[in-house]
């Protein structure tokens, strides 16, 4: 690895790497080494491949890639040149894969993807429903390159955009191209990146920072992490292009300490880029200099908010700060210097825009939300994992075409988008196009990209309590509306789900939620009530059943409903009687029954019954006392 002194040397080195790397006829296994596949044994699979290659004398290239997306099926890998995709690969499958696919040029059927156990296997990755409707821009190199090998990134066109910018474009050209592309921030707010860059550059200060927000505090979200782990050079190149555009000198990647693989791969990537002259002083022989550093955070949810993130970078506790001044202004950014802050996915899109042009980027997605968005698809869906789809795709396509539908063919009930502060969207909006404006119109938001699918067995009151309990516990406590308001809302929800809800609780939740939205200091407090307010809007009848009928239709909340045993179904196994700790289940000569005077509605008998003979029924509507 030698230093590249100018753009021409970069172009020559790129052509060399294209010729020497990833030869089309080479025997190759691209093994996913993302966090999920690593946890399920990807490195044991790699060890088995090395052992078999040595035993058979085959020259097999093994590429340890980043996340390939379909985490539910890990460890996953692709064998080339036949491009055969394998799922749930175990070390004992490797000899068969070597025999069939590497030596025999045919697929090993038992390891291929199937929609279900009776369906025909699908050997080619691009034919799998999970991948068919995806369009990859931010994740373009995940599953292709080794994140710890800069030559791989260069071989697939990496740093070409930086070379183009330094040789043929002025800083304003780069900024205008990003602005023309209408790249909206993928961190959640959707503010146009080009406009933010221009505002930062307009500051009279000579020292400026480019900051990447890799905190990603949403539970179950791993979009930014997957880019940092699987394609760190795309982030570095995007940040370097931003620095060139706004004439910044310093870059900081803020990443939570709980992402050790991301931190490790970022450090390796920065060192490699510096050694090749792609970062540091006088990049590619020009007057442009840009140095990078990594700051590890403690993983607080509030540090996803920009001013709290800046406070954490500076070594202070992550508290939000009042604005103005904004980060892009004097006194508002890191150590008081103007700073441009975008999230990881936003920066990863920038090299594509500069290299292929804004028109290419705008040809994907919708007019107001061009490009793609990465989502972490999870919950009650068949295929969970990381998906990147064009803006404007419908929720139905994501859930049923890409995600494979609801587990056990149950009925879809709702989807929550935007992380724990996002809204819950019901089935009536399944054909809603997914973009910033459409999601906001139904009370939800894009957020950083979390998507949680819920089925008919989900209690919407309980799920709103679950999300609010997270945001309440993660509240920094600085402003009273968020600190006190979310606590009071959570107490009301606890009361409702335990069977002690009273008249007026729904109205109190709505009033508190609106006050928190209006009065909180930061965006996290402003959005914390969203799950509660949207579930009340779309599933109000479930709240009313919990309060007035003491009934949970999803059978998830303890302390609710009238418990009885259907003697026509009961086959007298006695498990319900054994499970009841309060002696409420009584045994007669030929049947069991539940004594309501002793029943605490703990659900033990309901859970223990193997055939569903224990029933939970709705009680008659009753007027319950109200609280002041």
Question: In this predicted model, what pLDDT tens digit does every residue of 345-395 receive, in sequence order?
Answer: 999 999 999 999 999 999 999 999 999 999 999 999 999 999 999 999 999
Question: Do 558 and 484 form a contact (C-beta atoms < 8 A)?
Answer: no
Tell me, yes or no, whether 286 lies in a domain.
yes
Do both 395 and 513 map to the same domain? Answer: no
Do both 184 and 321 map to the same domain? Answer: yes
CA distances from 336 to 194, 202, 215 (A): 22, 15, 21
Q: Which residue has the higher pLDDT, 115 or 424?
A: 424
Do both 316 and 390 map to the same domain? Answer: no
Mean pLDDT across the stretch 567-596?
Answer: 93
Tell me, yes or no, whether 274 lies in a domain.
yes
pLDDT at 627 over 90: no
Tell me, yes or no, whether 532 lies in a domain.
yes
Question: What's the pLDDT at 624?
Answer: 58
Q: Look at residue 224 and give its three-state secondary structure.
A: helix
pLDDT at 563 over 70: yes
Which residues are CB-neighbours of 419 under 8 A, at least 6 positions away? 188, 218, 219, 221, 447, 448, 450
Do both 527 and 576 map to the same domain? Answer: no
Query: What angle separates helix 160-168 from helix 7-20, to the nearest 10 degrees?
Result: 160
The rounded distance, in Å, linking the Cα atoms of 527 and 482 is 10
Do both 376 and 502 map to the same domain? Answer: no
Tell me, yes or no, whether 2 lies in a domain.
no
User: pLDDT tier at 118 (50, 70, 90 boundaries)?
Assistant: confident
pLDDT at 147 over 60: yes
The rounded distance, in Å, linking the Cα atoms of 139 and 122 is 23
Do both 355 and 392 map to the same domain? Answer: no
The rounded distance, in Å, linking the Cα atoms of 626 and 397 is 44
Do both 313 and 399 map to the same domain? Answer: no
Do both 167 and 271 map to the same domain? Answer: yes
Taking alpha carbons only, the member of 389, 29, 416 closest to residue 220 is 416
User: What kind and span of H or E run contains 32?
Assistant: strand 28-32
User: pLDDT tier at 309 (50, 70, 90 boundaries)?
Assistant: very high
Question: What's the pLDDT at 16?
Answer: 95
Question: What's the pLDDT at 621?
Answer: 67
DSSP one-letter string for 273-302: HHHTTSSBSSGGGSS--BEEEEEEE---GG
User: pLDDT tier at 496 (50, 70, 90 boundaries)?
Assistant: very high
Torsion angle of the four alpha carbons 134, 36, 215, 421, in this order, in degrees rounded to the nearest 10: 70
pLDDT at 18 over 90: yes
Which residues are CB-neighbours of 238 under 8 A, at least 6 positions away? 346, 347, 348, 349, 350, 351
User: pLDDT tier at 84 (50, 70, 90 boundaries)?
Assistant: very high
Question: What's the pLDDT at 53?
Answer: 94
Question: What's the pLDDT at 625?
Answer: 59
In the block, tokens 């991301």 appear at 262
Tell me, yes or no, whether 16 lies in a domain.
no
Question: In this predicted model, what pLDDT tens digit does every residue of 321-343 receive, in sequence order?
Answer: 888 899 999 999 999 999 999 99
Tell me, yes or no, whether 436 lies in a domain.
yes
Do both 335 and 259 map to the same domain? Answer: yes
Tell me, yes or no, whether 180 lies in a domain.
yes
**Residue 607 belongs to domain with CATH number:** 3.30.70.20
Structure tokens at 526: 């402003």
Given 518, 549, 580, which residue is the final one in a domain? 549
List the domain range (segments joined by +) for residue 501.
460-549
Residue 180 CA to its chain's centroid (Å):
27
Question: In this predicted model, what pLDDT tens digit does every residue of 445-484 receive, in sequence order?
Answer: 888 788 999 999 999 999 999 999 999 988 888 889 999 9
pLDDT at 193 over 70: yes
Question: In this predicted model, what pLDDT tens digit does every residue of 21-65 receive, in sequence order?
Answer: 999 899 999 999 998 899 999 999 999 999 999 999 999 999 999
Strand pairing report for 562-565 and 450-455? unpaired
CA distances from 286 to 10, 165, 249, 272, 576 (A): 13, 11, 13, 19, 78
Mean pLDDT across the stretch 513-528?
Answer: 90
User: pLDDT tier at 300 (50, 70, 90 boundaries)?
Assistant: confident
Structure tokens at 319: 């508290």
Question: Backbone phi, then psi, for 254, in 5-degree steps?
Answer: -95, 115
Mean pLDDT across the stretch 166-193?
Answer: 93
The rounded distance, in Å, linking the Cα atoms of 475 and 302 is 7
Residue 56 CA to its chain's centroid (Å):
41
Contacts 24+ apart (CB under 8 A), 106-110: 107/82, 108/84
Specify which residues 379 forms β-bridges with: 453
pLDDT at 182 over 90: yes
Do both 419 and 280 map to the same domain? Answer: no
**Residue 111 belongs to domain with CATH number:** 3.40.30.10
The rounded distance, in Å, linking the Cα atoms of 181 and 193 is 9
**Residue 440 belongs to domain with CATH number:** 3.10.20.600
Do both 438 and 582 map to the same domain? Answer: no
Q: Which residue has the higher pLDDT, 115 or 19?
A: 19
The rounded distance, in Å, linking the Cα atoms of 581 and 604 is 8
Question: In this predicted model, what pLDDT tens digit does every residue of 432-441 receive, in sequence order?
Answer: 999 999 999 9
Question: In this predicted model, what pLDDT tens digit does every residue of 526-538 receive, in sequence order?
Answer: 889 999 999 999 9
Which residues are CB-neighbours of 411 under 8 A, at least 6 positions away? 455, 456
CA distances from 400 to 136, 288, 337, 369, 380 (A): 19, 48, 47, 23, 11
How many domains, the chain?
Answer: 5
Q: Tell me the pLDDT of the chain averaged across its residues.
A: 92
Tell me, yes or no, whether 598 lies in a domain.
yes
Mean pLDDT across the stretch 202-207?
Answer: 91
Taking alpha carbons only, the member of 262, 231, 249 closest to residue 340 is 249
**Residue 259 belongs to domain with CATH number:** 3.40.50.11540
**Residue 517 belongs to domain with CATH number:** 1.20.1440.230
Question: What's the pLDDT at 1?
Answer: 64
Do both 441 and 541 map to the same domain? Answer: no
Given 549, 582, 597, which residue is the final one in a domain? 549
Specify burial of residue 237 (Cβ count, 10 A radius: 0-12, 13-18, 19+).
buried
Specify burial of residue 539 (Cβ count, 10 A radius: 0-12, 13-18, 19+).
buried
User: pLDDT tier at 521 (50, 70, 90 boundaries)?
Assistant: confident
């Amino acid at each position: 690895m030698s230093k590249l002194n100018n753009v021409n040397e970069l172009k020559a080195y790129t052509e060399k790497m294209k010729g020497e790397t990833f030869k089309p006829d080479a025997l190759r296994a691209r093994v996913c080494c993302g966090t999920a596949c690593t946890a399920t044994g990807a490195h044991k699979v790699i060890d088995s491949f090395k052992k078999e290659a040595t035993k058979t004398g085959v020259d097999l290239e093994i590429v340890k890639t980043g996340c390939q997306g379909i985490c539910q099926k890990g460890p996953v890998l692709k064998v080339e040149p036949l491009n055969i995709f394998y799922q749930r690969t175990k070390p004992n499958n490797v000899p068969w894969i070597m025999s069939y696919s590497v030596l025999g040029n045919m697929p090993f059927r038992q390891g291929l993807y199937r929609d279900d156990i009776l369906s025909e296997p699908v050997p080619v990755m691009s034919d799998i429903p999970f991948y068919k409707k995806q369009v990859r821009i931010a994740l373009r190199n995940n599953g292709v390159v080794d994140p710890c090998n800069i030559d791989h990134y260069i071989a697939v066109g990496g740093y070409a955009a930086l070379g183009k910018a330094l040789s043929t474009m002025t800083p304003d050209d780069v900024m205008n191209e990003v602005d023309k592309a209408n790249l909206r921030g993928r961190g959640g707010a959707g503010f146009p990146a080009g406009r933010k860059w221009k505002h930062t550059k307009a500051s009279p200060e000579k020292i400026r920072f480019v900051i990447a927000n890799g905190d990603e505090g949403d539970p179950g979200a791993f979009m930014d992490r997957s880019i940092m782990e699987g394609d760190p050079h795309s982030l570095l190149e995007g940040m370097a292009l931003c620095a060139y555009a706004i004439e910044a000198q310093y870059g900081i990647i803020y990443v939570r300490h709980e992402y050790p693989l991301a931190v490790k791969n970022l450090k390796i990537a920065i060192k490699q880029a510096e050694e090749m002259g792609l970062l540091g002083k006088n990049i590619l022989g020009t007057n442009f200099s840009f140095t990078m550093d990594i700051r590890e955070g403690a993983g607080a949810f509030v540090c996803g908010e920009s001013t709290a993130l800046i406070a954490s970078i500076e070594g202070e506790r992550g508290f939000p700060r009042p604005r103005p001044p904004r980060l892009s202004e004097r006194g508002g950014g890191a150590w008081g210097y103007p700073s441009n802050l975008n999230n990881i996915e936003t920066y990863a899109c920038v090299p594509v825009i500069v290299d292929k042009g804004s028109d290419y980027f705008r040809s994907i997605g919708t007019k107001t939300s061009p490009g793609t968005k990465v989502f972490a698809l999870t919950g009650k869906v068949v295929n969970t994992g990381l998906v990147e789809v064009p803006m404007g795709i419908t929720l139905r396509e994501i859930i049923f075409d890409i995600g494979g539908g609801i587990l056990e063919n149950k009925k879809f009930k709702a989807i929550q988008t935007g992380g724990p502060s996002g809204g819950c969207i019901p089935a009536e909006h399944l054909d809603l196009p997914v973009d910033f404006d459409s999601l906001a119109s139904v009370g939800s938001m894009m957020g950083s990209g979390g998507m949680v699918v819920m089925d008919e067995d989900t209690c919407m009151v309980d799920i709103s309590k679950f999300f609010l309990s997270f945001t309440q516990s993660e509240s920094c406590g600085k402003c009273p509306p968020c600190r006190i308001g979310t606590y009071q809302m959570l107490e009301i929800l606890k009361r409702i789900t335990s069977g002690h809800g009273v008249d007026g609780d729904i109205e109190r939740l709505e009033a508190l939620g609106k006050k928190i939205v209006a009065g909180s200091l930061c965006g996290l407090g402003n959005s914390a009530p969203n799950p509660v307010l949207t579930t009340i809007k779309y599933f109000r009848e479930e709240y009313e059943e919990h309060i007035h009928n003491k009934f949970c239709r999803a059978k998830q909340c303890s302390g609710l409903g009238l418990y009885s045993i259907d003697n026509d179904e009961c086959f007298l196994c006695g498990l319900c009687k054994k499970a009841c700790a309060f002696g409420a289940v009584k045994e007669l000569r030929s049947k069991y029954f539940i004594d309501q005077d002793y029943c605490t509605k703990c659900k033990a008998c309901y859970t223990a019954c193997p055939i569903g003979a224990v029933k939970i029924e709705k009680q008659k509507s009753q007027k319950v006392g109200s609280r002041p």
